[in-house]
């Protein structure tokens, strides 16, 4: 037996981790968690309904039983555990869409992770010849799947934002708002609110929002965002970009906002400790896919300041963090930019 047996076993598990991840993807894509929604099923029957090879399915499930996602009962029956139930599409807080987002092209980009390590640049661009959002624009089916998966995660991510007191707000501009999942929820829960959905034209063109209460604007947030809102939302946008690009977006928002406006950023915050934390992994995912990054609270504060905002509140939800920004008054120029600390 090797010395440090536990560590040795854990290291082997980590080295082979993508096999577990891809096994989760294959089994979920075949619909197995949904097929077990009503209770246990026998392996042969499950394989038939999932379109899987029966022997292969049992071997895949053996790995995922050990991961605590399924249980195996007598006579080869399988059931979901409480954790595995998050793989069902219809479950509140479902992680089904996260499974999709980690597979396909993003997974292939990870095959070139060494490129990102050496250069600090996204492996995605190296493999596919262009940045991910440009690639998506040229691939409508994958773009639609990406938008659907993002929308599917909105409910969990948006909880701290949706639960805010919206009584004083009038017009919410969702910058990079995808196809409108967040605005639909916000407008439904707050009848006095109006919305503006802003995203790239090919995404905004697919928006599904109530036309009488929500304008849809296609454009590029590096060259301007719609004026006229009193609340601006940037949800899962800034982590897609490095500091230089993120600052450009923040400055465009600052320029469009009235002085009393509020900026609501829904993101992740990397804890400053040595413990395992999903946001540390997500940070690498942003690098490999987009050249973006997750940030610590201190990094967020500095980015906000350089972009012209004071970070006034940090509210932790179960899956995301809400960062609230107010324009920093003194020194604000006509273009909305600060004359202090804007740096790069």
Ligand X SMILES: C[S@@+](CC[C@H](N)C(=O)[O-])C[C@H]1O[C@@H](n2cnc3c(N)ncnc32)[C@H](O)[C@@H]1O
- Give catalytic residue positions: 239
In the complex with ligand X, the residue whose CB is nearer, 46 or 286, is 286
Which residue is associated with the tokens 């916000």? 186
Do residues 122 and 289 touch, judged by C-beta distance below 8 A?
A: yes
Contact between 122 and ligand X per CB under 6 A: no
Binder to ligand X among 47, 50, 237, 254 (CB under 6 A)?
Answer: 237
The residues that bridge with 216 in the sheet, in sequence order, are 197
Query: Is residue 231 a contact point for ligand X (CB under 6 A)?
Result: no
Put residue 190 in one of left, alpha, beta given phi > 0 → left and psi -120 to 50 → alpha.
beta
Instruction: Give the number of residues in contact with ligand X, rule: CB under 6 A.
Output: 16
Out of 222, 224, 227, 298, which residue is the one contacting ligand X (CB under 6 A)? 222
The CB-of-256 to ligand X minimum distance in angstroms stands at: 13
- With respect to ligand X, which residue has the nearer C-beta, 43 or 149? 149
Contacts of 206 (CB under 8 A, 6+ apart): 144, 147, 179
Residue 41 vs 257, nearer CB to ligand X: 257
Q: Which is nearer to ligand X, 246 or 327 (CB)?
A: 246
Instruction: Figure out which of the listed residues 34, 240, 279, 294 binds ligand X, where binding follows CB under 6 A.
Output: 240
Runs of H (alpha helix) within 16-71 = 17-29, 32-35, 43-50, 54-66
| 279 contributes a contact to ligand X by CB under 6 A | no
CA distances from residue 326 to 39, 67, 164 in whole angstroms, order as listed: 50, 44, 16
Tell whether residue 178 is a contact of ligand X (CB under 6 A).
yes
Identify whether the C-beta of residue 193 lies closer than 8 Å to the C-beta of residue 171: yes
**Contact with ligand X (CB under 6 A): which of 18, 107, 128, 133?**
133
Does position 236 bind ligand X by CB under 6 A? Answer: yes
Contact in structure between 109 and 123 (CB atoms under 8 Å): yes
The two tokens of residue 189 are: 């829960």
- Give the footprint of ligand X on this chain (CB under 6 A): 133, 150, 154, 176-178, 199-200, 203, 220-222, 235-237, 240
């Amino acid at each position: 037996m090797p010395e440090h047996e536990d560590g040795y076993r854990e290291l082997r598990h980590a080295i082979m981790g993508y096999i577990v991840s891809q096994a989760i993807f294959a089994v979920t894509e075949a619909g197995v968690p949904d097929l077990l929604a009503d209770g246990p099923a026998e392996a042969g029957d499950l394989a038939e309904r999932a379109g899987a090879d029966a022997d292969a399915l049992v071997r895949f499930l053996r790995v995922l039983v050990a991961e605590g996602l399924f249980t195996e009962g007598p006579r080869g029956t399988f059931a979901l555990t409480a954790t595995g139930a998050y793989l069902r599409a219809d479950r509140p807080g479902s992680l089904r869409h996260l499974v999709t987002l980690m597979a396909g092209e993003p997974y292939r980009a990870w095959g070139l992770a060494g490129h990102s390590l050496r250069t600090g640049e996204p492996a995605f661009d190296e493999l596919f010849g262009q940045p991910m959002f440009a690639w998506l624009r040229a691939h409508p089916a994958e773009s639609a799947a990406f938008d659907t998966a993002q929308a599917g995660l909105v409910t969990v991510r948006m909880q701290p934002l949706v639960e805010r007191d919206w009584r004083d707000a009038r017009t919410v501009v969702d910058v990079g708002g995808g196809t409108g999942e967040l605005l639909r929820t916000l407008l439904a829960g707050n009848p006095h609110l109006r919305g503006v959905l802003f995203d790239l034209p090919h995404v905004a063109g697919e928006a599904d929002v109530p036309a009488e209460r929500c304008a849809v604007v296609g454009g590029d947030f590096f060259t301007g965002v719609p004026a006229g809102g009193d609340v601006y939302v940037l949800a899962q946008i800034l982590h897609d970009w490095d500091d230089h690009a993120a600052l450009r977006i923040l400055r465009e928002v600052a320029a469009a906002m009235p002085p009393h406006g509020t900026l609501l950023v829904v993101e992740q915050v990397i804890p400053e400790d040595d413990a395992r934390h999903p946001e540390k992994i997500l940070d690498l995912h942003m690098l490999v896919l987009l050249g973006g990054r997750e940030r610590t609270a201190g990094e967020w504060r500095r980015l906000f300041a350089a972009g012209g905002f004071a970070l006034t509140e940090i509210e932790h939800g179960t899956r995301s963090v809400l960062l609230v920004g107010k324009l920093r008054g003194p020194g604000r120029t006509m273009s909305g930019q600060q004359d202090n600390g804007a740096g790069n």
